[in-house]
Amino acid sequence: MDNNKKTGAFRSDAFKLGGSQTLLIAIAVVVAVLINLIAAGLPATVTEFDLSRNGFFTLSEQSVQVCRNLTEPITLYLVAENGAENDTITTLLDRYAAAGSNITVQYVDPVLYPGFTTKYTSETVSANSVIVESPERFKIVDNTQIFVQDYTNYYTTGQVSSSFDGEGAITSAIAYVTSDELPTVYVLGGHGEAQLSDSLRGMILKDNYTLGAVNLMTEDALPERCDALILLSPQSDLSERELTILSDYLENGGSMVVLADILPTATPNLDRLLASYGLQLERGMVIERSGDNFLAGGYYHYLLPVMGEHEITAPLRSAGQYALMPMAQAVVETASHRSTLSITPLLYTTQQSYLKQDVENMTTAEKETGDPDGPFMVGAAVTEETPGGTTHLVVYTTSDMLQDSVDSVVYGGNSNLFLSTLGWMCQYDAGMSIHAKPVDQEVLVVPASASNLWSLILVVVLPLAVLAVGAIVTLMRRKK
């Protein structure tokens, strides 16, 4: 009787239901374990989503291409004590490992392996620094290069700005340890030229250029290895001897970028150098009246020019970035030049622009009789194939574009344009620098037309709409 009861219990509906539930739970556990095992083997780009405000963990297309194009193994060593690794850095390193099959990430505890960093440097490596190593060379990315503190405004405003430059620093280091030959760029001097700002100089060096200075007033020739020249706002003209040296350099496949400001005196030799490559400076200040192409606030001489299609401008166009050109003159293509020259507009104004030629005596920004009509180029690129190689010449018509205060308005658009220019001239893949991502601020560039539209909506349309709705509701209630 007892045995029959026990047998019946196993056949009961309750037992069957409980057995089914137990089986389902077991299957669910197995499925969950399998999913976790599979997920653990997937790259971080699939299993993790970047929800940070400024996209700290989203690699730019430039970084992704650098990682994908690697043909040799790269190891990223994070130097940090076990359990004290910075989560932001570890997540970013996971993204690099996911982006390139030749990238390996390893964590090194300096307490357990005190002699590890001595292979690379005799100095102390700070916690949460990254050592990037290839079979040929290495580079140490210090923690202070990843988390950047800017004290520029500390003594005036008491504020310290913070930014995260992990991607820029690590991608630069990867490019450095894998590059066979790094480009050398020289800045011309001797004519009262402006100086590259510390921040722009830092960006150039971060992109692994070797940066030097040359003065042809005191030196007989350009350095033997010179991939590109920078002429930044000369305040006086070139000498005949300098003109000959620079002409010979360009005729043999040299590269040069000229940033020319409005000057009260003539520069016939510089003009001759540019004219030999089909370009001519039109002295004066360009005024823009198209609302989409000048800075909001009535700054008609702070141009947001149209970007032409070119290898230099391609990174900015794809990223939706602006270039800001304050107080720019114009550069035009000469009426005649040799057919071997290829001239491409990089930046140009609209048909609503015009040129104020007599800047020193200008009393109004309004268009007057005799002011030439646009459009005008404010940036141009020239190439020519020569027996010595490809000549590259780029002209921008204001050096103020490289001021930090101007560059910050367009969130690094101008410095990106300049770095892209160097990359094109040197045929170097560094392209445009990857900017640090602000921790405590975001930047919004508003053209004048957009500013006026939103002002109209917020100040006029929206209040009137609220009043209209209120009036309608009041009338309907009275009718009831």
Distance, in Å, from the CA atom of 290 to the CA atom of 450, rounded to the nearest integer, reads 11
Does 121 have pLDDT greater than 70?
yes
Q: Residues 78, 140: contact at Cβ < 8 Å?
A: no
Distance, in Å, from the CA atom of 90 to the CA atom of 97, rounded to the nearest integer, reads 11
More confident residue, 395 or 3: 395
Say what the pLDDT of residue 477 is.
Answer: 74
What's the pLDDT band for 464 if we cut at 50, 70, 90? confident
Does 118 have pLDDT greater than 70?
yes
Domain range summary for the chain, segments of one domain joined by +: 12-39, 42-180, 183-438, 450-480
More confident residue, 430 or 179: 179
Q: What are phi and psi of 302, to 5 degrees?
A: -100, 90
Does 144 have pLDDT greater than 60?
yes
**Mean pLDDT confidence for 199-208:** 90
Say what the pLDDT of residue 378 is.
Answer: 97
Distance, in Å, from the CA atom of 169 to the CA atom of 271, rounded to the nearest integer, reads 40
Q: Which residues, other chains included, contact 300 with Cβ-Cβ below 8 Å and sequence gap of 6+?
A: 287, 288, 289, 294, 365
Lowest mean pLDDT among 5-19, 53-67, 88-102: 5-19
SS3 assignment, position 239: coil
Average pLDDT taken over every residue of the chain: 85
**Mean pLDDT confidence for 400-428:** 92
Short-list 207, 371, 410, 406, CA closest to 287: 371
Say what the pLDDT of residue 50 is.
Answer: 47
Lowest mean pLDDT among 67-71, 103-107, 243-247, 420-424: 67-71
Query: What contacts 24+ positions apart, CB below 8 Å, involve 450-456?
Result: 450/291, 450/292, 450/296, 451/296, 451/297, 452/291, 452/296
Asked if the 183-438 domain carries CATH number 3.40.50, the reply is yes
Homologous superfamily of 42-180 in CATH? Glutaredoxin (3.40.30.10)
Say what the pLDDT of residue 480 is.
Answer: 64
Q: Where are the alpha helices (DSSP H) in 153-252?
A: 154-157, 166-178, 198-206, 240-251
Per-residue model confidence as pLDDT tens digits over 270-326: 999 999 999 999 999 999 999 889 998 888 999 999 999 999 999 889 888 899 999
Name the one residue in this structure whose structure tokens are 């000369």. 234
Per-residue model confidence as pLDDT tens digits over 12-27: 666 556 666 677 777 8
What's the pLDDT band for 11 if we cut at 50, 70, 90? low
Beta bridge partners of 373: 354
Lowest mean pLDDT among 175-179, 425-429, 475-479: 475-479
Per-residue model confidence as pLDDT tens digits over 326-383: 999 999 999 999 999 999 999 999 999 999 998 888 888 899 999 999 999 999 999 9
Helix (H) / strand (E) containing 405? helix 404-409
Short-list 122, 119, 125, CA closest to 146: 125
Say what the pLDDT of residue 180 is.
Answer: 78
Say what the pLDDT of residue 48 is.
Answer: 52
What's the pLDDT band for 267 if we cut at 50, 70, 90? very high
**Mean pLDDT confidence for 142-149:** 86
Does 1 have pLDDT greater than 60?
no
> Where do the DSSP E strands lie in 351-455?
354-356, 377-386, 389-396, 437-438
What's the pLDDT band for 227 if we cut at 50, 70, 90? very high
- Residue 98's identity, in one-letter code, is A
**Mean pLDDT confidence for 253-266:** 94
Q: Secondary structure of the chain: what % helix, strand, coil (to 5)? A: 35, 20, 40
Of the chain, the percentage scoring pLDDT greater than 90 comes to: 56
**Mean pLDDT confidence for 38-52:** 51
Say what the pLDDT of residue 36 is.
Answer: 66
Does 223 have pLDDT greater than 60?
yes
More confident residue, 160 or 273: 273
Say what the pLDDT of residue 14 is.
Answer: 60
Query: Would the CA dihedral through 359, 363, 367, 369 be positive or negative?
Result: negative
SS3 assignment, position 8: helix
**Mean pLDDT confidence for 398-415:** 93
Helix (H) / strand (E) containing 38? helix 13-41
Short-list 224, 126, 202, CA closest to 433: 202
What's the pLDDT band for 411 if we cut at 50, 70, 90? confident
Structure-token pair, residue 440: 């405590």
